[in-house]
Amino acid sequence: MKNTKNIENVFKGLLFGLALMALGCSSGSGSKNPACTPGNENCECKVDGTCDTGLECKAGKCVKTASCTPGKQDCECKADGTCDTGLECKAGKCVKPASCTPGKQDCECKADGTCDTGLECKANKCVKPASCTPGKQDCECKADGSCDGTLECKDDKCQQKTCDPGTMGCPCKADNSCDAGLECKNGTCAASEGSGLFVTNADVRACDVVFSVKGAKVAFTNAVTGVTATKGEKLAISFTFNADELPAGPVASLTDAQGTPLTGLTPDTVKCYDRAGKIVAKPGVTLK
């Protein structure tokens, strides 16, 4: 009878051990669960000490984060797919990027507080501005490569242009002089009194003018935004007023290759438009 009892105890122990194994457990106190993938909830942490989205590593085990704010490191991404400064959204989780260059989108701002073209620095993070109108300062250039007013297109971004002293709309030279056809007015070089391309009809807001002249140079004043094109001996000048009013002075100056002002030329064609885009019958465009 005693031997029979011993055999029963052995079988009971074996059955108990098999039951534990079936449940994914072991009789050893420190053994790992072979059916538990590292990083999953209630499983051991990954080798790098991290866990899957929404979990955190505590005492070597991945558990639900008490409070995981979307956008924070190791938390889920925000609704718009972004994360807080210095983080990026990967597989629905906000993580530190392998390399985040200051000035790039969603990276921290540069040391001087600026960002790359088309981005702005907000809360020390480079983001796309809510509304950046092409042609405006620090925004991308217009489709034709131009910018508003006195801005110029550099690296696909509208910036204040380099202003050479003595040229139209730029500071006067050290001796208060300006290039030929210009004069120094309040420290800025402008068209000489009574010279330049003028518009006299107050209804005009934009013009297309064509002259027959070769080698002419055109310098627009700050009152307009303009472009030019040449074909053979034809010079086309297009401009729009920067303000909704007629400029008091000339809209541009024309000089020859030597810098001598061109005056008295009669335009081949003139088409000017009012604020509604309708053609103005008598625009009053003259080159004095």
Residue with tokens 């001796």: 175
Q: Where are the domains of the chain?
A: 40-98, 100-130, 136-160, 195-287
Domain range 195-287, CATH architecture = Sandwich (2.60)
- Summarize pLDDT for 228-267 with one digit per residue, the tens: 988 888 999 999 999 999 988 889 888 887 767 787 789 9
pLDDT confidence band for 16 (50 / 70 / 90): very low
Task: Compute the Cα dihedral for 17, 19, 25, 29 and give only its sign.
Answer: negative
Query: What pLDDT, in 10s, does the model give residues 185-232?
Result: 888 887 666 568 999 999 999 999 999 998 888 888 888 999 998 888
Q: Which residues lie closer than 8 Å to 164 by C-beta, 6 or more apart? A: 170
Beta carbons within 8 Å of 232's beta carbon, 6+ residues apart:
214
**What predicted TM-score, i.e. pTM, was given to this entire model?**
0.39
Structure tokens at 165: 């002293």
